[in-house]
Structure 1
Amino acid sequence: MDDWTPRTIAIAAGRPHGPGEPLNTPIVATSTFEAGGDSVYARSDGTETWHALEEAVGALEGGHATSFGSGVATLSAVLDTLPVGSSVAVPTFSYAVTRGAMHHAEKMGRITVTELEPTDTQAWVDCDADLLWLESPTNPTLEVMEIETIARGTRGCVVVDNTFATPLHQQPLKLGADIVVHSATKLIGGHSDLLLGITVAADETIAAELRGARTRIGSTPGALEAWLALRGLRTMPVRLAEQTKTAALLASRLAEHPAVTKVRYPGFGMMVSFELATAEAADQVCSAVRLIRAATSLGGVESLVERRAWLPGEERVPAGLLRFSVGLEDPEDLWRDLVTALG
């Protein structure tokens, strides 16, 4: 598998092998196992469906994967492994739920939290936090962090939320990160029909700690959700390639539109954020689009747009910023929808 491309790994990894074996991993719907085997109870030992998904994502990221019931559950598991009193650094602009959960843990006296500007690399290197939680690109401002410089220059455990980039655009473990997290609800699943999270650890010892946290918290994935995520993973390379081409095209066109004051696009991936002059103008776009859906979340085959500043915890996001998750629709249809909505 080491000599396969990521596109091939996404299709081939995590499949049963051997004469008479099914081509696809089945949905294993069980909570317990008959005594005498390697598995006793699904919460602690997992199932064949979970293991297949973890093998495939782990192969793509180059580490040891553990699946969870949601993307946020991966954060809970990471925090669960920290001793009380640990210090954590998180980007000022990052997923609001991540920062909210960290500040809640701080309020409860479990950790201390420092927020740093995503692109102030030296501040991250100089930071003495026990855990550095990176997002790259950041949500929703799409800033790219210097993962390798930070990871090589700090003593703390480095976690990278790789949901937006996916292992097809960056592999943080190879850049020195200790843990990668994904909301598999997004691009891995790819169809807006499941909730699931995945951690990938560079070291088996860390992976074992995360699996232990999963057992303690009880944040296990459902059998159907794990199977759907694995099926979604098979097509992620071709989906993301098309979405990326469309996103780049629309970002360049939006940059030329007179109603748009700023476009944020990191040069890869299917996420585009663009700003209008006012919150009212942005809300009007969300109300006027017909093909693009005004909804939260991202990474599905359908295009979604959302004004992020209305959400609690996103008050620092520019009021007129729209986060645009580019889907698989025809780019010209999407552009016509945007132009009409922009007025």
Structure 2
Amino acid sequence: MACVSEEWSARTKAVVAGRPVGEGEPMNVPITPASMLGLSYAREDGTPTWVAFEEAVGELEGGTAVAFASGIATVSAVLDARPSQAVVVVPSDSYAGTRGHFAHEHAKGRVRVVSVAPSDTAAWIEAAEGAGLLWLESPTNPSLHVVEIAEIASAVRRLKHRPTIVVDNTFATPLGQRPLSLGADIVVHSATKFIGGHSDLLLGVAVAADPAHVADLRDARTRIGATPGALETFLALRGLRTLPVRFAEASRTAALLAERLAEHPAVTRVRYPGSGAMLAVEVADAECADAVCAALRLVRHATSLGGVESTVERRAARSGDAHVPSGLLRFSIGLEDPDDLWADLNRALCSVN
């Protein structure tokens, strides 16, 4: 594969990393639809397709990447290395699928789950005493709280028995923050979202710097059978190539819309962490929020995010997100013209005001 210079920017690395080199080599790693490679199963040693994807993600995050069949499979693999009855500290506001998986493991007696408010740094540091795993998510899904990763990691590093720190970096992407450089042990992504970027695949990936963590992740992937597909990793790598330009453009639009939405009479609160392509808007109540969703024509009413198209969802209507304000609308901003998006949002909001 291509030799990547540490001096290159993330934008350059996204284009170069994981590409074949040498005279006569293809420009892209071909899809390898093989269940076995010689005397080993592909689930044990991987295929060239997913190895290339892992190399590219690892370059962007600053560690060694391990790909999985989905984001939840990645969560399961991280928990797999925890000893029985380990204390797992999780944010009270975070992706419902992740919290649901933690709750399931808690109910089965495999781990003990403790919930902490995302932005309460002191509570995270206090909860770290005796914990086996801190699961951070920043910004959080769907309320966009920001977690002080570096401050928490610095305090945890001083503990005699320090827990493993995991950061779900799906919303920020490696372009917004690199948690390993902030003191995290493992970074996870739902590559279904911004990394893939086109709403056409399911994939997860974890990145670690410590070889022991990498070995645990690979071992769990093999035993669980949560191996990524060749087509999915090919598509995700292709999506990754344009992540820097997609994310920058969508972030500029999100910042512009956040400013305009803050002045709209139908909006009671705008949640925007200052960067990134995700924002949340609160309106009067659930009825009003549902009416806005129904009135939008350009912005799609859909549950996923991170694609080239803008989407909206009232998360409180979803199972597991009852804690979310009933009038909160989570927006994932895509690549449409900002003025067209604003016209659609303004018209929908005015129709219910």
Q: Is this a same-fold pair by TM over 0.5?
A: yes
TM-score normalized by the length of structure 2: 0.95
The reply on whether 1:31 has 2:11 as its aligned counterpart is no
- Runs of 4+ with deviation above 4 angstroms: none
Match of 1:142 in 2: 144
Deviation, 1:18, is 1.2
Match of 1:327 in 2: 334
Match of 1:158 in 2: 165
Counterpart-to-counterpart distance in 2, 1:19 and 1:125: 53
Letter in 2 for 1:284: A
Counterpart-to-counterpart distance in 2, 1:229 and 1:152: 33
Counterpart-to-counterpart distance in 2, 1:85 and 1:144: 28
Match of 2:65 in 1: 65
**Structure 1 residue ranges without an equivalent (≥5):** none
Match of 1:209 in 2: 216
Match of 2:295 in 1: 288
The reply on whether 1:228 has 2:235 as its aligned counterpart is yes
Provide, for residues 98-150 of structure 1, a one-character-per-residue CA deviation record: whole Å limited to 9, x for no partner.
Answer: 11110110000000000000111011112121100000000011111000111
The reply on whether 1:85 has 2:85 as its aligned counterpart is yes
Deviation, 1:288, is 0.6
From 254, 259, 272, the equivalent of 1:247 is 254
Match of 1:20 in 2: 24
Match of 2:187 in 1: 180
User: Counterparts of 1:116-127 in structure 2 under 5 Å?
Assistant: 116-127=116-127
Provide, for residues 226-264 of structure 1, a one-character-per-residue CA deviation record: whole Å limited to 9, x for no partner.
Answer: 000000000000001100000000000000000000000
Counterpart-to-counterpart distance in 1, 2:273 and 2:60: 22
Match of 2:159 in 1: none
Match of 1:272 in 2: 279
- Three-state SS of the structure 2 residue aligned to 1:260 is coil
Deviation, 1:34, is 2.0
Counterpart-to-counterpart distance in 1, 2:154 and 2:187: 16
Letter in 1 for 2:31: I
The reply on whether 1:191 has 2:198 as its aligned counterpart is yes
Counterpart-to-counterpart distance in 2, 1:152 and 1:210: 24
Provide, for residues 194-234 of structure 1, a one-character-per-residue CA deviation record: whole Å limited to 9, x for no partner.
Answer: 00000001211111110100011111111100000000000
Counterpart-to-counterpart distance in 2, 1:150 and 1:52: 33
Provide, for residues 2-46 of structure 1, a one-character-per-residue CA deviation record: whole Å limited to 9, x for no partner.
Answer: 1010000000000111121111111011010223xxxx1101110
Identical aligned pairs, as a percentage? 64
From 123, 126, 132, the equivalent of 1:130 is 132
Counterpart-to-counterpart distance in 2, 1:142 and 1:172: 17
Counterpart-to-counterpart distance in 1, 2:53 and 2:211: 17
* Alignment root-mean-square deviation, CA: 0.6
Letter in 2 for 1:29: P
Provide, for residues 52-99 of structure 1, a one-character-per-residue CA deviation record: whole Å limited to 9, x for no partner.
Answer: 000000010000100000011110001111111100000011111111
- Residues paired across the two proteins, number: 339
Match of 2:7 in 1: 3
**Structure 2 residue ranges without an equivalent (≥5):** 157-161
- Three-state SS of the structure 2 residue aligned to 1:133 is strand
Deviation, 1:153, is 1.2
